[in-house]
Structure 1
Amino acid sequence: MAEHPTGIPIQLEPLVVRVLAPNPSPYTFGGTQTYIVGHDDLAVIDPGPDDPAHIDTLLRIIAGRPVRAIVITHHHRDHSPASSPLAAATGAPIVGAVPQHVTGDHPGLDAAFDADYAPDRVLADGEAVQGDGWTLRALATPGHTSNHLAFVLPETGALFSGDHVMGWATSVVSPPDGDMGQYMASLERLLGRDERIYYPGHGEAVEQPQRLVRGMLGHRKQREGQILRLLAAGPLPLADMTARMYVGLDPRLIPAAQRSVLAHLYDLRGRGLADEEGEQWRITG
């Protein structure tokens, strides 16, 4: 499943090294990609799960160099838990996404929130951390989570896209914290930008990012149209709708698919196009 071996530093460009964490799953693909930015001083983006072997690997790569910041795109438990032990080992501050306390987690989804995430500094849209020869500027991209940030490396035209844009699949958008309207707006925001390459939280680097983002927008609009056509034929419960939309889907991914369909339905309800009666959804108007 892994696209390259875990624990091996891969030099993607002079300022960027990638390390794959050993946490493959149906929701993380080969695992979480941790990125180390810089030469003489460093930033570590999304250090990943609290896995001792992965943390030891990161410390070997850091090799005693000063770490200016441990940067978090969002605090799902496959992205942020290693921030605390890594901060303790390096003295670096944890910066990035604002902590969110989400209730009502849905068992079976690997992407549960890291309840222990405690940043030293929250970065607002446009704020940055800097080191010798590098800058990481926060770009608010809510939708996958309400607190999701991407980070631009203007020195090379790269963007670290977290789970907003991934290199292997579209993101799960799971209410109540995930919001399909915000997700679509964040994709539209990326279309107005010109970064040359995306480094995602999962999967390989995206070398034609504008093409992929346009495709992701088209895919979500296609799903929305599919929902409206199904509801036009009569009311349906969420489970039946998902089964008709995702024929042949890996059963392990059905809970995630249901959450994304529900996110579409909430968005349609907010726009006055669908509503819920009991356990069934219907078209309005």
Structure 2
Amino acid sequence: MTRPAYGVLRPVTPLAAVLLAENPSPMTLEGTNTWVLRAPGAPDCVVVDPGEDDEAHLQRVAAHGPVALVLLTHRHHDHAGGARRFAEITGAPVRALDPSLVLGSEALGDGDVVAEAGVELRVVATPGHTSDSLSFLLSGPQADPVVLTGDTILGRGTTVIAHPDGALGPYLDSLHRLADLAAGTAVLPGHGPELPDAPAVARAYLAHREERLEQVRTALVRLGPQATPRQVVETVYADVDRAVWPAAELSVRAQLDHLRGTAS
């Protein structure tokens, strides 16, 4: 397998390039994607998800500045852990849905439009993976539609519902929002490779979630209503690498909450 090009800025679209953080794991795939956005010829850039508090990575990202603004897709440390230090390095304000993550600016809200570095980003609230998860619709001069999805849609595999902060009902609603985007809207994810069509991927995610829910229902019939989340994981996620079973257990807890809620 070819070693990922850590520390190398890779152009992806006319408006977006990615710098891969060297934090690979079963949960982060090859590592966190830090996105650097600017229109051609723009003197500065917007950075989405500077990543963990890794000085080497943050300095490499800062070298592609000046940085006008930092945006966070959600609060998890592999995306936002280095935001405060990155703001110190670059002097750029940080914006997120969670006010506790905001530095030198104001919190973001669904439908907000951010304009910097010759590009526009429309904020789309996509809770579910976490309660504060956002996606960003990116537009700019002579560019095809693109959406940055954080961990709501990954470049490979499916995401965890990080119970109790994350919840399945809102996540399904978020997938429906992404499924309603224009066909051919490319996905720039928080982990893994870019994907060509957000609506198609969102529909596949919805089908996968319904399949998993049915498997959980079946497991509960077999194991009994007092089955623990771990027992459900061992039954439903037997085909998944055990390294991600702790994350799968979070998703199962979210699935069980969802099933109980829809049954009441």
Question: Contact 1:167–1:202 (CA<8 Å) still a contact in 2?
Answer: yes
**Number of corresponding residues:** 254
Give the secondary-structure state (helix, strand or coil) at the position aligned to 2:243: helix
User: Counterparts of 1:166 and 1:2 in 2: how far apart (Å)?
Assistant: 20
Partner of 2:17: 17
Give the secondary-structure state (helix, strand or coil) at the position aligned to 1:58: helix
Partner of 2:49: 46
- 1:118 offset after TM fit, Å? 4.1
Partner of 1:217: 206
Q: Aligned AA for 1:249? A: V
Bigger share in strand: 1
Change beyond 3 A, Cα 1:216–1:59: same
Q: Which of these residues, 118, 134, 137, is aligned with residue 133 of structure 1? A: 118
Q: Deviations over 1:116-143 (max 9, x none)?
A: x444321000112212420111100000
- 1:76 offset after TM fit, Å? 0.3
Q: Deviations over 1:30-84 (max 9, x none)?
A: 000001111322110000011111011112222xx3x221000101000012211
User: Counterparts of 2:10 and 2:213 in 1: how far apart (Å)?
Assistant: 38
1:198-277 mapped onto 2 (5 Å cutoff): 198-233=187-222, 234-235=224-225, 236-272=227-263
Question: Contact 1:150–1:160 (CA<8 Å) still a contact in 2?
Answer: yes
Q: Deviations over 1:241-276 (max 9, x none)?
A: 110111143222111111111100000111116xxx
Runs of 4+ residues deviating >3 angstroms = 117-120
Question: Contact 2:113–2:120 (CA<8 Å) still a contact in 1?
Answer: yes
Q: Aligned AA for 2:220? A: L
1:58-73 mapped onto 2 (5 Å cutoff): 58-62=61-65, 65=66, 67-73=67-73
Q: Which runs of 5+ in 1 are unaligned?
A: 101-116, 274-285
User: Counterparts of 2:85 and 2:108 in 1: how far apart (Å)?
Assistant: 21
* Aligned-residue CA RMSD (Å): 1.7
Q: Aligned AA for 2:19? A: V
Higher alpha-carbon deviation: 78-87 or 228-237: 228-237
User: Counterparts of 2:211 and 2:53 in 1: how far apart (Å)?
Assistant: 37
Question: Contact 2:68–2:117 (CA<8 Å) still a contact in 1?
Answer: no
Is 2:171 aligned against 1:180?
Answer: no
TM-score, normalised to structure 1, is 0.85
TM-score, normalised to structure 2, is 0.91
- 1:154 offset after TM fit, Å? 2.4
Is 2:138 aligned against 1:150?
Answer: no
Is 2:150 aligned against 1:162?
Answer: yes
Question: Contact 2:37–2:117 (CA<8 Å) still a contact in 1?
Answer: no
Question: Contact 1:44–1:71 (CA<8 Å) still a contact in 2?
Answer: yes
Is 2:180 aligned against 1:192?
Answer: yes
Bigger share in helix: 2
User: Counterparts of 1:56 and 1:68 in 2: how far apart (Å)?
Assistant: 15
- 1:232 offset after TM fit, Å? 2.7
Aligned-residue sequence identity (percent) comes to: 36
Give the secondary-structure state (helix, strand or coil) at the position aligned to 1:121: coil
Q: Aligned AA for 2:120? A: T
Change beyond 3 A, Cα 1:164–1:50: same
